[in-house]
């Protein structure tokens, strides 16, 4: 077993023990060990072999024994016993936002609820509201949570689907039978969630490729095994989460590859529009070719297909039939922003609040990614659950940043904070403290249940505070977990134009907030956007690429993204903003 597998097994032990009402200290030991192991840079197996498990912080004798069993045998009897004791429905209930192990246990103990179906019935019969610690509001939220889970059933987050897909891609791409290989479908269009993985290959000899695909590691079911198409159901561990999804492989002749690539990339609606365009030319377009009455039009690449229909190339992210073909015809397609144009990122957490890495570790990682600057944005004082910074700790962090800045050559660290927007729209520090920062990210983390109009005014009031530079994760949504709070996004975007507030595209794949649809609207209004990973560890810094995908789906160009600016231009922007809110000496 590798680190991620061991980590997932220990996390599962923790969850199951908690559902069984075991001692919280014991539960925490498993949860913490799971986190530690997922973040280890060396192999847990090598610690087992060398007998050095005990040197890892938090791994006592009991855990050493369990980890050794996992690494050596791939199994843990203790985990099997726990699984046998806990009805699987209880684990499914944990997917509901706001329903932790304690509440699930209470529902099971007192109402014998062991499935989502039973939970829904109990809520509708008003039985849950009467339980101690629940109430009518919680019951309503549970019902909404069940409905939400139903509406997203079977979809997987982009980052998790990408990881599964890339494993399959890497398995096949070096086979001698493979001529061309590409991921298609929603993955290639970089949608925030993906239902299934579509892999396309061209080859003269498909059989060995199909064989390798249906016997890939993690396959739990072969749904089809044919000459040109195979389908599998595959399971993989991604950052400790168990991901199960379908993957389809199609193998075509190399001449057909560009047509199949365009077809299976979709979207379906874009394909329909392209087919009508072909019909105007007296041609038929499908997954096999572009054909006329007299002859077929040969295309070597996707670009050739667009060219044959007198269109410039349309990037996959734009293929949602939201006006891209018209724009292509008029020559007004955007030149989309690219990852390599991102110069730095601003909303990042460190060990000062709830991050896993120090200022210096984060800065070094950002530099190694080729970024020119990095901004911090730890949590502010009222967010005690995330270890928000008191004014004293703000000053300590700033001093540390000053020191790092004097040490690091060719790299600039900006002083920022993710400042809570309080319920009344005021900010979480006095002006004196706010004046210490180069920039301030304003975010809502509390009172999500506010009526829409009140929430909108709360945010608008904060945007009018001269210290606010950018607005973090505008809606607070969590992809496949919960909808955002009620807020009038249009009004906020319009206010951003008036107040020159930057709007964040939170690039954490769990958030992707602003979403691409509102990015497109922001572009129309002339709002400037900033792509931030909301990193809580050095690895998370790379998430900005997912924000670039959102920006590209939202038709955004380099000049519309603030953090494509050079260090000097960013400095100039911040100091201009600071004129309205001068630093106090």
Using CB under 6 A, list all residues that contact ligand DGT.
185-186, 191, 194-196, 198, 263-264, 266-268, 271-272
Q: Which is nearer to Zn ion, 349 or 412 (CB)?
A: 349
Q: For the CB of residue 341, give the shortest distance to Zn ion in the complex, in Å.
A: 25
Q: Which stretch binds Ca ion (CB under 5 A): 84-92, 189-197, 295-303, 497-505?
A: 189-197
266 binds Ca ion (CB under 5 A): no
At a CB cut-off of 8 Å and minimum separation 6, what does 568 contact?
none
185 binds Ca ion (CB under 5 A): yes
User: Which of ligand DGT, Ca ion, Zn ion, none does residue 266 bind to, with CB < 5 to 8 Å depending on kind?
Assistant: ligand DGT
User: Which of Ca ion, Zn ion, ligand DGT, none does residue 443 bind to, with CB < 5 to 8 Å depending on kind?
Assistant: Zn ion
Question: Which of 295, 296, 313, 291 lies closest to 304, judged by CA?
Answer: 313
Cα 47 to Cα 556: distance, rounded to the nearest angstrom: 47
87 and 108 in contact (C-beta within 8 Å)?
A: yes
User: Which of Ca ion, Zn ion, ligand DGT, none does residue 110 bind to, with CB < 5 to 8 Å depending on kind?
Assistant: none
Total residues binding Ca ion (CB under 5 A): 3
Q: For the CB of residue 266, give the shortest distance to ligand DGT in the complex, in Å.
A: 2
At a CB cut-off of 8 Å and minimum separation 6, what does 211 contact?
none
Cα 425 to Cα 548: distance, rounded to the nearest angstrom: 30
Residues within window 395-424 making contact with Ca ion, judged by CB under 5 A: none
Question: Which of 346, 386, 257, 360 lies closest to 565, judged by CA?
Answer: 346
Q: For the CB of residue 584, give the shortest distance to ligand DGT in the complex, in Å.
A: 52
Q: For the CB of residue 194, give the shortest distance to ligand DGT in the complex, in Å.
A: 4
User: Which of Ca ion, Zn ion, ligand DGT, none does residue 272 bind to, with CB < 5 to 8 Å depending on kind?
Assistant: ligand DGT
114 binds Ca ion (CB under 5 A): no
Which position among 160, 182, 196, 302 is part of the footprint of Ca ion (CB under 5 A)? 196
User: Which of Ca ion, Zn ion, ligand DGT, none does residue 264 bind to, with CB < 5 to 8 Å depending on kind?
Assistant: ligand DGT
Q: Which is nearer to Zn ion, 319 or 473 (CB)?
A: 473
Cα 27 to Cα 11: distance, rounded to the nearest angstrom: 9
- For 35, 80, 145, 449, the CA distances from 379, given in Å and listed in that order, are 21, 40, 27, 21
In angstroms, what is the C-alpha Rg of the chain? 26
Question: Which of 492, 459, 34 lies closest to 240, judged by CA?
Answer: 34
Q: How many helices (H) and strands (E) does the chain have?
A: 24, 19
For the chain, the maximum distance between any two Cα atoms, rounded to a whole number of angstroms, is: 80
Q: Which is nearer to ligand DGT, 189 or 415 (CB)?
A: 189
User: Which of Ca ion, Zn ion, ligand DGT, none does residue 120 bind to, with CB < 5 to 8 Å depending on kind?
Assistant: none
- Structure-token pair, residue 578: 């600071």
- The SS3 call for residue 193 is strand
Q: For the CB of residue 185, give the shortest distance to Ca ion in the complex, in Å.
A: 3
Binding site for Ca ion (CB under 5 A): 185, 196, 198
């Amino acid at each position: 077993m590798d680190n991620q597998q061991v980590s997932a097994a220990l996390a599962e032990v923790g969850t199951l023990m908690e559902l069984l009402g075991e001692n919280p200290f014991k539960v925490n030991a498993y949860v913490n060990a799971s986190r530690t192991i997922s973040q280890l840079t060396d192999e847990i197996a090598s610690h087992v072999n060398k007998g050095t498990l005990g040197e890892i912080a938090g791994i006592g004798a009991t855990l050493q024994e369990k980890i050794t069993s996992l690494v050596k045998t791939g199994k843990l009897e203790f985990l099997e016993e726990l699984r046998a004791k806990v009805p699987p429905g209880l684990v499914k209930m944990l997917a509901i936002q706001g329903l932790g192990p304690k509440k699930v246990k209470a529902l099971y103990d007192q109402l014998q609820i062991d499935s989502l179906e039973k939970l829904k019935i109990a809520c509708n019969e008003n039985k849950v509201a009467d339980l101690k610690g629940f109430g009518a509001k919680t019951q309503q939220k549970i019902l909404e949570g069940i409905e939400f889970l139903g509406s997203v059933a079977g979809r997987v987050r982009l980052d998790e689907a990408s990881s599964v897909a890339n494993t399959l891609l890497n398995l096949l791409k070096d086979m001698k039978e493979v001529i061309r290989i590409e991921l298609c479908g929603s993955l290639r269009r970089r949608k925030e969630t993906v239902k299934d993985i579509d892999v396309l290959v061209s080859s003269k000899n498909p059989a060995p490729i199909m064989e390798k695909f249906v016997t890939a590691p993690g396959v739990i079911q072969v749904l089809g095994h044919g000459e040109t198409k195979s389908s599998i159901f595959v399971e993989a561990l991604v950052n400790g989460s168990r991901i199960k999804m379908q993957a389809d492989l199609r193998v075509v002749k190399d001449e057909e590859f560009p047509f199949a690539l365009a077809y299976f990339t979709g979207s379906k609606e874009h394909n329909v529009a392209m087919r009508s365009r072909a019909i105007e030319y007296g041609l038929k377009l499908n997954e096999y070719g572009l054909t006329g009455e007299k002859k077929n039009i040969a295309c070597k690449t996707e670009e050739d297909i667009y060219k044959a229909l007198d269109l410039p190339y349309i990037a996959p992210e734009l293929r949602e039939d939201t006006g891209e073909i018209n724009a292509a015809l008029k020559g007004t397609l955007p030149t989309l922003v690219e990852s390599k144009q991102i110069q730095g990122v601003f909303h990042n957490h460190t060990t000062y609040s709830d991050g896993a890495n120090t200022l210096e570790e984060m800065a070094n990682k950002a530099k190694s990614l080729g970024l020119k600057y990095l901004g911090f944005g730890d949590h502010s004082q009222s967010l005690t659950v995330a270890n928000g910074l008191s004014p004293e700790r703000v000053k300590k962090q700033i001093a540390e940043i000053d020191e790092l800045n004097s040490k690091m050559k060719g790299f600039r660290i900006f002083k920022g904070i993710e400042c809570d927007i309080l319920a009344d729209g005021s900010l979480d520090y006095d002006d004196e403290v706010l004046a210490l920062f180069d920039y301030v990210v304003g975010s809502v983390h509390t009172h999500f249940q506010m009526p829409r109009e009140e929430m909108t005014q709360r945010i608008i009031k904060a945007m009018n505070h001269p210290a606010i530079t950018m607005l973090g994760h505008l809606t607070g949504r969590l992809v496949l977990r919960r909808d955002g709070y009620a807020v009038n996004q249009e009004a906020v975007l319009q206010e951003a134009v008036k107040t020159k507030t930057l709007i964040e595209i939170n690039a954490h794949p769990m958030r992707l907030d602003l979403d691409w649809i509102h990015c497109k609207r922001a572009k129309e209004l002339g709002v400037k956007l900033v792509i931030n990973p909301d990193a809580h560890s050095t690895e998370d810094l790379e998430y900005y690429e997912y924000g670039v995908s959102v920006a590209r789906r939202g038709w955004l160009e380099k000049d519309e993204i603030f953090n494509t600016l050079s260090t000097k231009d960013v400095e100039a922007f911040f100091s201009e903003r600071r004129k309205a809110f001068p630093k106090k000496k």
